[in-house]
Structure 1
Amino acid sequence: MRTTAFIPATMSVSARHVSFTHRDASQPALQDVSFDLAPGTRTVIIGPNGAGKSSLLALLAGKRLISNADLRINGHDVFRNTAGTGATYLGTEWAMNPVVRGDIVVSAFLDSVGGYRHKERRDTLLDILDVDLTWRMNCVSDGERRRIQLVFGLMVPYDVLLLDEVTVDLDVLVRDDLLKFLKADSEARGATILYATHIFDDGLNFFPTHIAHMSFGRLVSPPTQWPLEPNSELGLKFGSASLYQVALQWLKEDREYRRELEATGLKLRGARRDQTVPDDSETFYRKYDYSH
């Protein structure tokens, strides 16, 4: 087992030598990931689909257990003291839970999870996310259900917020208002935010204090100050580029790296043009005939 280094309790989020492989997977989802996030920082994780962003956030939320890594939030081991970390995790799978698709009025649903205890903050979020308390959970659209999730998850104050693609269903106006709220909340309370997203329009430029790049389970660029410092390594590479331009370049580099791997004979994605496919459907589907 790897010996982990001392992690200062002053860091909001700390990771040391995090490696993780999903059951039955041939490739690891995370490979030796280490980083620290200071209190009050807002870090956007950039990376292609399958880079390991969701796996990292799920581990930080204590949703999966691994034994050969040290993951801490506010100095607490996330695998042994999840309740004491002060962390809130919001991911896309929430909207698929049958419980939140039942025939229940939104006001009753929010009260059932303690919304009445945080009325002022809850009401602020209801206004920002434009949620109707008379909606029924089984009748709302995907975007409206996502808004309800965000009220549900954000109405209780947090120390660390882990966001995994939860703004993907929001229209651009609501998303902009939400990001402004999260930024102001982070600055006022010193809350730390780690946000994985694939939406890099101009509205995201103002939000992060740091950006990070993940690819093939590796942390290619650890959390780096944003806007980029002109004389830093990334500052010299990207100049005054927008966050969209930085993300686009990193994703292009990821794709080229994958193609280099494929050139060695390992085909990862896309069509298999070297395979012979029958021209007629009868021959093609014959292999599925189990009548003999």
Structure 2
Amino acid sequence: MSSEPAVEISNLTFSHSPPGGRPNDAIVALRDVNFTLPTGSRTLLIGGNGAGKSTLLYILAGKRMIQQGIVNVFGKDVFKDFPPNLVYLGTEWAMNAGVRRDIVVSDFLNSVGGYRHKERRDHLLDILDIDLDWHMHAISDGERRRVQLCMGLMGEWDLLLLDEVTVDLDVLVRDGLLNFLKDETVNRGATVVYATHIFDGLNDFPTHIAHMRDGSFVLNPTPWPLNPSSDNAGLTLHAIALRWLSSDRALRIQEEKEGKRAKTRGPRTNAAPDDVNRESFYKKYDYSH
């Protein structure tokens, strides 16, 4: 296993403008991120929706140009010298119209090089329980997700970035996939960074866990299991995730009460004129009673 870090991020801050917004309306999605991941590690990113997990994975994959900071993968700048054997798998793939056409799975996999990786492809076909005679337009979202995973994993990748892609899998297939990924990190020294909201069955998977909130790391990637002196020592990943996300929500609510941030979630106690007008319109034309 290489002693070179798989990922090195320094002083990373990333902002984006909302749809239709102006540069001055930029939203800070990541702020002052600094961490290093060892080669062969399996890091679990834990955080609520909007915490910055997907943005971070997109940047690591070279899919978002940064304004500030350094992002290196295996010693290479992902924007200047994109590293080979980096794979990103996200949820948007299965929604693409191009992969919902009437194409047989065997032909689809061969069209993206499956014939070059026959041994690994066949191993993944067994793990993911894929029928090569399936037609892409006629299968379920979960089955289409399995095809995506086979496509992305059949080559010998060195860094794998997973963003919620196990959400459609049944528990048996998901367990087989996680065992496959674990073997890849142990036997080949590959590295995995995995963002998910499903924590059952994960206790034996990560080598590191991290806590993200509002674009920052509350806890940088830290070896798992946690140090016995930690406040969360002895808890399952599910229990830790519940504790962290509950704390994040309580902090947000407290900051809203103190006026440190605008209240945008939950019921509106002081409706804006436009909201009142909309409600009046729908009451006028409500024929459901």
- Superposition TM-score, scaled by structure 2 size: 0.90
Query: Against the structure 1 CA distance between its residues 287 and 59, is the aligned structure 2 distance closer, same or farther, given a 3 Å change threshold?
Result: farther
**2:71 pairs with 1:71:** yes
Q: In 2, distance between residues paired with 1:52 and 1:279?
A: 35
Task: Tell me the residue number matched to 1:32.
Answer: 32
Q: In 2, distance between residues paired with 1:215 and 1:167?
A: 22
What is the one-letter code of the residue matched to 1:258? Answer: R
1:164-243 matches, within 5 Å, as 164-201=163-200, 203-231=201-229, 235=230, 237-243=231-237
Q: In 2, distance between residues paired with 1:139 and 1:180?
A: 28
Task: Tell me the residue number matched to 1:15.
Answer: 9
- Describe the SS at the equivalent of 1:33: strand
Instruction: Name which of 265, 269, 280 aligns with 1:273.
Output: 269
What is the one-letter code of the residue matched to 1:192? Answer: T
1:280, CA displacement in angstroms? 10
Q: In 2, distance between residues paired with 1:287 and 1:12?
A: 60
Unmatched 5+ stretches in structure 2: 19-24
Identity between Structure 1 and Structure 2 (%): 56
1:272-291 matches, within 5 Å, as 272-275=268-271, 283-285=280-282
- Describe the SS at the equivalent of 1:211: strand
Task: Tell me the residue number matched to 1:101.
Answer: 100
Q: In 1, distance between residues paired with 2:278 and 2:17?
A: 38
Number of residue-to-residue matches in the alignment: 273
- Superposition TM-score, scaled by structure 1 size: 0.89
- Describe the SS at the equivalent of 2:176: helix
Q: In 2, distance between residues paired with 1:66 and 1:184?
A: 33
Q: In 2, distance between residues paired with 1:35 and 1:287?
A: 56
Task: Tell me the residue number matched to 1:131.
Answer: 130
Q: In 2, distance between residues paired with 1:143 and 1:167?
A: 9
Q: In 2, distance between residues paired with 1:58 and 1:140?
A: 28
Query: Against the structure 1 CA distance between its residues 286 and 168, is the aligned structure 2 distance closer, same or farther, given a 3 Å change threshold?
Result: closer
Q: In 1, distance between residues paired with 2:170 and 2:188?
A: 27
Report if aligned partners of 2:86, 2:159 keep a CA contact under 8 Å in 1: yes
1:238, CA displacement in angstroms? 1.3
1:286, CA displacement in angstroms? 9.5
Q: In 2, distance between residues paired with 1:118 and 1:85?
A: 16
Report if aligned partners of 1:213, 1:220 keep a CA contact under 8 Å in 2: yes
Report if aligned partners of 2:9, 2:35 keep a CA contact under 8 Å in 1: yes
Query: Against the structure 1 CA distance between its residues 23 and 230, is the aligned structure 2 distance closer, same or farther, given a 3 Å change threshold?
Result: same
Task: Tell me the residue number matched to 2:243.
Answer: 249
Report if aligned partners of 2:17, 2:27 keep a CA contact under 8 Å in 1: no
Q: In 2, distance between residues paired with 1:129 and 1:284?
A: 50
Deviation digits for residues 192-249 of structure 1 (CA, Å, limit 9, x no counterpart)? 1000000011x11010000000000001100111011213xxx2x0121111111110
Task: Tell me the residue number matched to 2:42.
Answer: 42
Report if aligned partners of 1:129, 1:151 keep a CA contact under 8 Å in 2: yes
Cα RMSD of the aligned pairs, angstroms, is 2.0
Deviation digits for residues 122-142 of structure 1 (CA, Å, limit 9, x no counterpart)? 001000000000001111110
Deviation digits for residues 56-89 of structure 1 (CA, Å, limit 9, x no counterpart)? 000000011114211011011111222x342110
Task: Tell me the residue number matched to 1:3.
Answer: none
Q: In 1, distance between residues paired with 2:106 and 2:73?
A: 32
Query: Against the structure 1 CA distance between its residues 280 and 67, is the aligned structure 2 distance closer, same or farther, given a 3 Å change threshold?
Result: closer
Report if aligned partners of 2:33, 2:216 keep a CA contact under 8 Å in 1: yes
Report if aligned partners of 1:76, 1:85 keep a CA contact under 8 Å in 2: no
Q: In 1, distance between residues paired with 2:118 and 2:93?
A: 23
